[in-house]
Amino acid sequence: MTETRLRPTLVTPRLILRPPIIDDMPAWSAYCADPEVMRNNGGVKSRERVFTDFRNSIPLWRQHGVHIFSVLLRETGEWIGRVGPGWNPAWPGRELGWGLASRYWGRGYATEAATACLDFVFDRLAWEEVIHTFKPDHAVSRAVALRLGSMRRGEVNLPPPFDDGVRELWCQTRDDWLRRRMRLDAVPQPA
């Protein structure tokens, strides 16, 4: 990980996670205009709404030292999605969410990016717990949550614009994550 004041950059074998920049807007807008992607993320957003959300996220980086990361392919620098921690006082906890442009689904990028973010929020920010919320029919997010080692806690209703039905609530504590990471790190890797 490299870090400048309030601008951490996380690097994984295939990805770069960094705070969004204005150059991300075309790809981020296309992501937010894709009905399949946004079916579980509050619905399709206009380019203007995406820009407003983007502009409003900048103070969150300053206030909390972290917010949603842009996810880039390390090899090409192409923007493929977003992942990261969010803090909204109206939510049931500090959330780690993920979302990728549909053409990048099924390649393990969401799990890889979310793993880097969990390391970051637990190690660097000392969060004690993280939650994930998604619609009950969102099998892909459930699979990612399971791969991360999170556990289903129950159901929750979220505030607008995510108030379009009940969401599953998943969570993981810092201690659970650290125990899991120690087990993974102890597994011999092929040469």
Per DSSP, what are the bridge partners of residue 4? Answer: 7
Residue 42: its pLDDT value, please? 67
Percent helix, strand, coil in the chain, to 5, is: 40, 25, 35
Q: What distances in angstroms separate CA 171 from CA 65, 79, 103, 161, one per listed residue?
A: 22, 27, 28, 21
Q: List, in sequence order, the alpha helices (H) in 43-108.
A: 47-64
How many CB atoms are located within 10 Å of the residue 180 CB? 14
Residue 162: its pLDDT value, please? 78
Residue 184: its pLDDT value, please? 63
Per DSSP, what are the bridge partners of residue 2? Answer: 9
pLDDT tens over the chain, length 191 residues: 544 445 789 999 999 999 988 899 899 889 888 888 777 776 778 888 878 877 777 777 777 777 889 999 999 999 999 998 887 788 899 999 999 998 999 999 999 999 999 999 999 999 999 999 998 988 999 999 999 999 999 999 988 877 778 999 999 999 999 998 877 665 454 44
Domains of the chain: 10-185 (3.40.630.30)
Residue 113: its pLDDT value, please? 97
Q: CA 115, 10, 174, 123 torsion: positive or negative? A: positive
H helix or E strand, kind and range, residue 110: helix 109-119
Task: Specify the pTM.
Answer: 0.86
